[in-house]
Amino acid sequence: MPLAGQSEVRDEGGLLVGWPQVEEELCTGCRACFERCPKGVYEWDEAGSLPVVARPMECVPGCEQCVLHCSAGAISLQQEEAPAAAVDG
Ligand code: SF4
Ligand code: SF4
């Protein structure tokens, strides 16, 4: 399945941006999100054995690889449309 690039979701209203949120109580520390993310959104907290959403703005809307591979259901993706001004500027 091809990954959606941000250029593909750009429209007249602006740029769709997305980022993941991890529910730490559900996370089993399996590292799948960290290892599967093609954009390096996550870093790994060795001490806490948890993913850290270190680069949320690198997340590609529509990708969902981390969600698909999280067997604990600990990840939810947030999406919103950035103002057009923020895209043009
Ligand atoms: S949706 Fe894709 S790009 Fe975004 S954090 Fe998950 S794996 Fe990374
Ligand atoms: S894939 Fe899910 S359970 Fe595994 S480390 Fe990431 S958030 Fe935790």
Whether residue 2 is contained in a domain is answered as no
Strand partners, 42: 53
Residue pair 64/1 in contact by the 8 Å Cβ criterion: no
Query: In this predicted structure, what is the pLDDT of residue 10?
Result: 46
Whether residue 21 is contained in a domain is answered as no
- Provide the domain count of the chain: 1
Whether residue 3 is contained in a domain is answered as no
Ligand 2: which residue has its CA nearest to atom 1? 70
pLDDT per residue as tens digits for the range 56-77? 999 998 899 999 999 999 999 9
Task: For residue 42, give its domain range.
Answer: 27-88
User: Which CATH number belongs to the domain containing residue 33 in this structure?
Assistant: 3.30.70.20
| Gyration radius of the chain's alpha carbons | 14
30 lines ligand 2 (CB under 6 A): yes
63 lines ligand 2 (CB under 6 A): no
Claim: this prediction has a pTM higher than 0.85: no
pLDDT per residue as tens digits for the range 22-62? 999 999 999 999 999 999 999 999 999 999 999 999 999 88
